[in-house]
Amino acid sequence: MRIIFVGQAPFGAETLEKLLDNQETVVGVITTPEQPNQRQPNPVRLCAEKHDLPLLQPKRLKSPEAVAWVKNLAPDLLVLAFVTSFVPGEMIKCARHGGINYHPSLLPKYRGGSAINWAVINGEEETGVSVHFIDEGVDTGPILLQEKVAIEPDDTVKSIYFGKLYPMGVRMMAEAVRLIR
């Protein structure tokens, strides 16, 4: 199955590494462009370069260049790990199975940004990870996998994300790809 990986940050890089460790066929990587004031190099870019994968760093996913690049690679699946911009419908249609996305909440609760923050602010006793198919809405596609974790009284947004949702998400994204394959 031909995968185009779209992601950023350490979570994106670790998810990409996990897919490669699982012998998935990643035919291209899209990540954010480097910023002039960026202190650390883009970890997804570094991972793609380390594995000699085709790489694109567009300013916007909906740019004609990005859509054409994806179309030319003829993917079966888009895999999104820490993506904060919308994927245009034209790009989603380029992939035979569409795309999947990691989201740090128990969808349909807390769609969009700051999902972990809102769970803590609202006194939720649990949260989790949802891996869902993408569509043109905000975290509205059908859910493929979902797992829950408890929010303990001493948890913070940081402890929930790094201690629970981040490692769970890397594992679940790889499992979702395996299930689709």
Q: Which residues are catalytic?
A: 101, 103, 130, 139
Tell me, what amino acid is at 151?
Answer: I
Please check whether residue 101 is in contact with residue 83, taking contact to mean a CB–CB distance below 8 angstroms. yes
Q: Put the strands of the sheet holding 77-81 in their side by side order.
A: 55-56, 25-30, 2-7, 77-81, 99-103, 126-133, 143-150
Q: Which residues face 81 on adjacent strands?
A: 7
Torsion of CA 13, 15, 17, 23, to 10 degrees: -150
Strand partners, 28: 4
Distance CA 1, CA 24 (A): 7
